[in-house]
Amino acid sequence: MYNSRISGLGMYVPENIVTNDDLSKMMNTSSDWIIERTGIEQRRHIKKGDGNSTAKMGVKAAKIAIKRAGIATNDIELILFATLSPDYYFPGSGVIVQEELGIPTCPAMDIRTQCSGFVYAMSTADQFVKTGMYKNVLVIGSENQSGGLDMTTRGRGVSVIFGDGAGAAVVSRETDLSKGIMSSHLHSEGEHAKELSIIDPNTSRWIPEIIADNNPDDISFYPYMNGQFVFKNAVTRFSEVINEGLEKNGWESKDIDLLIPHQANLRIAQFIQRKFRLSDDQVYNNIQKYGNTTAASIPIALTEAWEAGKVKEGGKVVLAAFGSGFTWGSVMINW
Ligand SMILES: CC(C)(COP(=O)(O)OP(=O)(O)OC[C@H]1O[C@@H](n2cnc3c(N)ncnc32)[C@H](O)[C@@H]1OP(=O)(O)O)[C@@H](O)C(=O)NCCC(=O)NCCS
């Protein structure tokens, strides 16, 4: 019998900082509006020519995580890559990471559950390690969203929220069953698939058709978000899935040493904090600096929290996410 634990963490964000004031020069928005509604003060955007891509940022984060795990790159037996913005439409970015890390061959798969991608990938890694199939799994969450956003007033309800970056974790075999990932809880509700989505291109309206249409007003390949509906569902599902994890392990909210919520919106995280009566020390948020980096937000926040000494040996750490799909989930860790 084995358990799995996080043995190394890493993160990378592009150097280019985009402030709310920078955005207000491109569209009709204001820093006050963005901060009041989302808590976001700035985000990072890849700059054309800076050498970054979704996979390349993932590799940078992964190298740090592998070093901290104290293993060799070739000890990685499986790569799980969570993203909604892969380098190519296909293949996924996991195989690019395998190539760039110089691992001769290993299984690599992309996980397409958007903001819940890292939680889904951690749960998947956990299963492969617990069954004994693999000893070290590399889990990456990485996003290059900036290039695909509508940076005009038309897209302001979405584009001010999202940012670029990557985070990575090495999930390794643990023989002490009281340590590591204690449980994970995953859900989806496809009824709301279109409420937060990019619909085109798709196989009913494929790329040649979009090119043939040549319609400058076509916004179907920009992200669409029904903001208030997403917000309402997020606070409900976050609460449910954290409670599910607490109940499964016989923990109470006061036992949580650190909650890392997916950095969707600071107002959502604050709502959850109040609901579970958690102190500021029990919750880690950094959306103020990076915006919503979707699948990358939890590993970036977890890495920063770990670097700041907030993740302690024996501590109870809860990861929780909600996003497009809708999908949601939690991972309960005894560090
Ligand atoms: C997106 C979100 C911040 C919008 O806030 P909201 O209070 O719901 O705002 P609304 O969409 O109702 O828009 C209110 C007004 O602000 C305007 N507005 C939208 N974006 C704006 C922006 N960036 N700057 C200025 N005004 C903006 C709207 O056009 C609307 O104007 P109107 O009243 O004249 O029509 C909020 O709905 C939200 O955070 N939702 C959840 C998003 C999320 O977490 N997504 C990720 C999930 S993983």
pLDDT of residue 71: 98
Our CA angle for 228, 256, 69, nearest 5°, is: 100
Nearest atom, ligand 1, residue 231 CA: 41
Structural tokens at position 89: 């439409």
Structural tokens at position 284: 């880690």
Nearest alpha carbon, ligand 1 atom 38? 227
Alpha helices in the chain (DSSP H): 20-24, 31-38, 54-69, 94-101, 117-130, 156-159, 207-213, 227-249, 266-275, 287-290, 297-307
Structural tokens at position 160: 């001010």
pLDDT of residue 291: 98
Q: Find out whether the beta carbon of 57 lies less than 6 Å from any atom of ligand 1.
A: no
Which position has the token pair 């917000």?
Answer: 231
User: What's the CATH superfamily of 180-334?
Assistant: Thiolase/Chalcone synthase (3.40.47.10)
Contacts of 214 (CB under 8 A, 6+ apart): none
CATH code assigned to 3-174 = 3.40.47.10
| Ranges under pLDDT 50 in the chain | none
Q: What is the tens place of the pLDDT at every residue in 113-150?
A: 999 999 999 999 999 999 999 999 999 999 999 999 99
Structural tokens at position 192: 């709301």
Tell me how far apart the alpha carbons of residues 25 and 180 are, in angstroms, rounded to a whole number. 46
pLDDT of residue 164: 98
Nearest atom, ligand 1, residue 268 CA: 44
Tell me how far apart the alpha carbons of residues 315 and 86 are, in angstroms, rounded to a whole number. 34
Domain with CATH 3.40.47.10 in the chain: 3-174, 180-334
Structural tokens at position 60: 């940078």
Q: Find out whether the beta carbon of 37 lies less than 6 Å from any atom of ligand 1.
A: yes
Nearest alpha carbon, ligand 1 atom 42? 227
Nearest atom, ligand 1, residue 159 CA: 23
Q: If you compute the radius of gyration of the chain from its CA atoms, what whole number of angstroms results?
A: 19
C-alpha 161 – ligand 1 centre gap (Å):
10
C-alpha 335 – ligand 1 centre gap (Å):
37
Cα dihedral: 69, 64, 76, 181 (round 10): 50
Q: Which residues are designated catalytic?
A: 115, 262, 292
